[in-house]
Amino acid sequence: MSSKLSHVAHEKLESLLNSSDSSRIADVSSMLNDMPPADVAHLIESSTPKLRQLLWQLVDTELEGEVIGELSEDLQSQFLAEMDASEVASMTEGMADDDIADILQQLPGAVTQEVLASMDQQDRARIERVLPYAEDTAGGLMTTDAITIRARVTLDVVLRYLRRHSEIPPMTDNLIVVNTQDQYIGLLPLRTLLVSDPSASVREMMVTDVSAIPAEMTDTEVARLFERNDWVSAPVIDTEGKLLGRITIDDVVDVIREDADHSFMSMAGLDEEQDTFAPVFKTTPRRALWLGINLITAFIAAGVINLFQDTIEKVVALAVLMPIVASMGGIAGTQTLTVIVRGIAVGQISRNNQSWLVNRELAVGVLNGLLWAAVVGIVASVWFNDWTLSLVIAIALVINLITASLVGALLPLFLNRIGIDPALAGGVILTTVTDVVGFLSFLGLATFFYA
């Protein structure tokens, strides 16, 4: 139903660009504000810049906070830039602590302080507990909205305590057990609370084998823990073991999606927050930088070819077959690079298994090199009726596929060790290496055999 509404809304909004009929605008506004906030955000992100402004103006004030929390950082910054401190403070009422912190971290320091000053003391205290932590850490992901209990009380007391609440926080699957110093000591699952003897104490029924998450842990590692343990929520503690808040699965899903976007977009040198409908003058500089880097690598490969200009002039078939050697090496290297980058991303690669992986990729490169060298060598000999040429391209293919597999395995491990994102830089370096080695081996061998 929401996709149908989105389609209808787009059609109506496009017609409104050339119309000033207030009744039609009211129809679209009513329809828009009946949609779930996530659908409204998706509709805004799927619109051209002109339509986005119109959509945002039609969103009711009380829904702005929920909608903006679902938008990408680029669009959040764009809309926040048009608001003053009081508007931002009003918009954030009822939002989760981590979402408010993410918004405030995008604002200038002075505006952030104004927004905090306009909040009541309790809300301000909650947000100030989250703000010091970076967005990509457990502390930045957490919300302070959690129910805590003491170990000494009975389950009956806990049940009566819960009934005093009008509602419990979303994604609550456990109650967090703390001591008098607010230090985390365990969890009481709701399923245990509901089926156990009310006279039993929390200490008897609580779970103590679930470790809390340190606030400084990276969001990627948090996502791995949730995936590995099938958690719905998890407590977050500071360096002294004091409970700060909790992380819920909905925020972890966002991290997983962002990491996937990052890996995918980085292969093309783009930011995971790249806006599909960003204006021309905002999109062009982002892509121009990466194109410039690739141009440099292309000149390096062209320089290698230029060294063997005389050989190419004598044996024209070399120019026809050169792309095969470079292309095969590039594909083989990219396959290896992708496997290793994924292994790093999901935390499967360590110092203990790195050498096995490198040796495995080297063996794969040798076997594939021999296989496809034989195939290409036979095709080249039949095509050009030249067995020397077939031998040259066969040897060059073996050399380049082995090199590609080796570099594709070692390069991301090295980049990751020195703190450079292998998904972002690995592809460019690998392509340059396979092109240079491919051309150098092919044309160098040709120069030797045809001398």
Q: Are residues 99 and 218 in the same domain?
A: no
Q: Alpha-carbon torsion 311, 296, 376, 317, what sign?
A: negative
Q: Are residues 119 and 186 in the same domain?
A: no
Q: Are residues 189 and 229 in the same domain?
A: yes
Q: Tell me: pLDDT of 227 over 60.
A: yes
Q: Are residues 129 and 155 in the same domain?
A: no
Rounded to 10 degrees, the C-alpha dihedral 400/403/406/407 comes to -110
Helix axes 37-45, 49-58, angle to 10 degrees: 160
For 430, the 3-state DSSP assignment is helix
Query: What DSSP element (H or E) covers 297?
Result: helix 280-306
Residue 253 placed within a domain: no
- Beta-bridged to residue 188, according to DSSP, are 175
Q: pTM of the full predicted structure?
A: 0.68
Q: Are residues 131 and 29 in the same domain?
A: yes
Final residue of a structural domain among 91, 113, 136? 136
Final residue of a structural domain among 204, 231, 248? 248
Residue 266 placed within a domain: no
Amino acid at 441: S
Residue 365 placed within a domain: yes
pLDDT (0 to 100) of residue 1: 43
Final residue of a structural domain among 116, 136, 156? 136
pLDDT tens, 145-188?
889 999 999 999 999 999 998 889 889 999 999 999 999 999 99
Burial of 276 (0-12, 13-18, 19+ CB in 10 A): exposed
For residue 196 the two structure tokens come to 């156990």
Q: Cα(249)–Cα(202) distance, rounded to whole angstroms?
A: 25
pLDDT tens, 392-408?
999 999 999 999 999 99
Residue 269 placed within a domain: no
The alpha carbon of 85 is separated from its chain's Cα centroid by a whole number of angstroms, namely: 30
pLDDT (0 to 100) of residue 185: 95
Q: Are residues 108 and 153 in the same domain?
A: no
Cα–Cα distances (Å) from 197 to 154, 200, 396, 405, in that order, read: 9, 6, 75, 61
Q: Are residues 220 and 302 in the same domain?
A: no
pLDDT (0 to 100) of residue 362: 94
Domain that includes residue 42, residue range: 2-136
Q: Are residues 126 and 32 in the same domain?
A: yes
Query: Which phi and psi angles does 112 have, rounded to 5°?
Result: -60, -45
Q: Are residues 294 and 425 in the same domain?
A: yes
Residue 227 placed within a domain: yes
Q: Are residues 219 and 284 in the same domain?
A: no
Q: Tell me: pLDDT of 243 over 90.
A: yes
Q: Are residues 132 and 225 in the same domain?
A: no
Q: Are residues 130 and 164 in the same domain?
A: no
pLDDT tens, 412-429?
999 888 888 787 778 888
* CATH value at residue 325: 1.10.357.20
Query: For residue 16, how many C-alpha atoms fall within 13 Å in the half-sphere facing its CB?
Result: 22
